[in-house]
Amino acid sequence: MAPVTLRAAGPADAASLYRLMCGLAENQGEAAYLAATPTGLAEALAAEPPAFGCLLAERDGRDVGYLTWVRCYGIWRGADYLNLDDLFVDESVRGLGVGAALMRRFGQLAAEQGAGARWEVKSDNLDARRFYARLGAEQEDKTVVRWSVAAMRSSD
């Protein structure tokens, strides 16, 4: 197997990142909800500081996985944490350690910044939950609630 290399994504990687995001959206049955665009991703990655962090996993000259996050402040804990937004590995390389490599690097980045990490996982995604448990992540029983701008406006 060719080695997998990890790198920080920049604006020039936006189209590749978008392709992988489409793969995740399809995999989760949520393609209709993906509103991001390559142009918007490039602008967010070009901002100072970038609007989000992103690691790309590359194998044989092709991006095969990604992990994205944003930095947040947890008022109860009184400390920063990195909120992992997406982790996706292309089916062609699943089971080869790409996801674990992305998570290990993400953990290193968080630890270097003195920040913890949090993320969401669908309760019925048992493979992902087992994967995270093997990494030593603690799973909480919470429900994610979303409030769209349209719903906010109509609640008056």
Q: Which helix (H) or strand (E) holds 116?
A: strand 116-119
Query: Residue 34 belongs to what domain range?
Result: 4-154
Overall average pLDDT of the 78-101 stretch: 96
- pLDDT digits over 145-156, tens only? 889 899 999 987
Q: CATH number, domain at 88?
A: 3.40.630.30
Measured from the Cβ of residue 21, the count of other Cβ atoms closer than 10 Å reads 19
Count up the domains in the chain and report the number: 1
Please report which confidence band the pLDDT of residue 67 belongs to, taking 50, 70 and 90 as the band edges.
Answer: very high
Mean pLDDT across the chain: 94
Full DSSP string of 23-92: HHHHHTT-GGG----HHHHHHHHHSSS-SSEEEEEEETTEEEEEEEEEEEEETTTTEEEEEEEEEEE-GG
